Amino acid sequence: MKLDLVAITPPAFDVDVQLAYATDANLTGRPVYRNAKCWLHPAAAEKLTAAIELAKPLGFRLRIFDALRPVEAQWALWNARPDPEFLADPRRGSPHSRGVAVDLTLLDPDGQALDMGTAFDAFTPLSHHGRTDVAPIAQRNRLLLMGLMTTAGWDFYRNEWWHYQLFEARRFPLVCDADLPRPMMSL
């Protein structure tokens, strides 16, 4: 299948890409992506550009932890931790596996990640949006990120402060590793 995907790389996109699943510092304890690339569907890339432009005059940049996640990678995460509160069941398909979701945070002008109250992929109720039992600065930072992302046209997932996706994500087809211009799961 011929995919129309956009590579999310500087300088075309003024973002800091640090794909968590390309390292062993993730819930599986090992790299999930062997050939880490940050891809998005063109419709999602357009909305990412809008979020970048909204953050820039405020002195912020975006750090991307994950974007397109091939179906095989979703299975690897699910097999390591089958928790439907934080991971989409791969039998139903994830918005990430459609190229229309992004996991991210905000960086200050010095390139430091803002305090969001929990780490990325902290599978705990403290990661949910709207928590008042995280520090007030973390609440403010989460709301700032949500404001930027929703103004740019993204929907949010209530259980993860870091996850944003396009509305009606299921209308986009699932993407397997073999569908990519260069597979991510093998070298």
| DSSP code of residue 87 | S
C-alpha dihedral (74, 79, 84, 89), degrees to nearest 10 = 50
Alpha carbons 96 and 78: distance in angstroms, whole number: 13
Say if CB 176 and CB 96 are below 8 A apart: no
Alpha carbons 59 and 85: distance in angstroms, whole number: 33
Element (H, E) at 39: strand 39-40
**How crowded is residue 37: how many other Cβ atoms within 10 Å of its Cβ?**
19
Catalytic residue numbers read 160
Alpha carbons 137 and 146: distance in angstroms, whole number: 14
Beta-strand relationship, 101-107 and 61-66 = antiparallel
Burial of 182 (0-12, 13-18, 19+ CB in 10 A): exposed
Whether a cis peptide bond, with omega within 30° of 0, leads into 109 is no
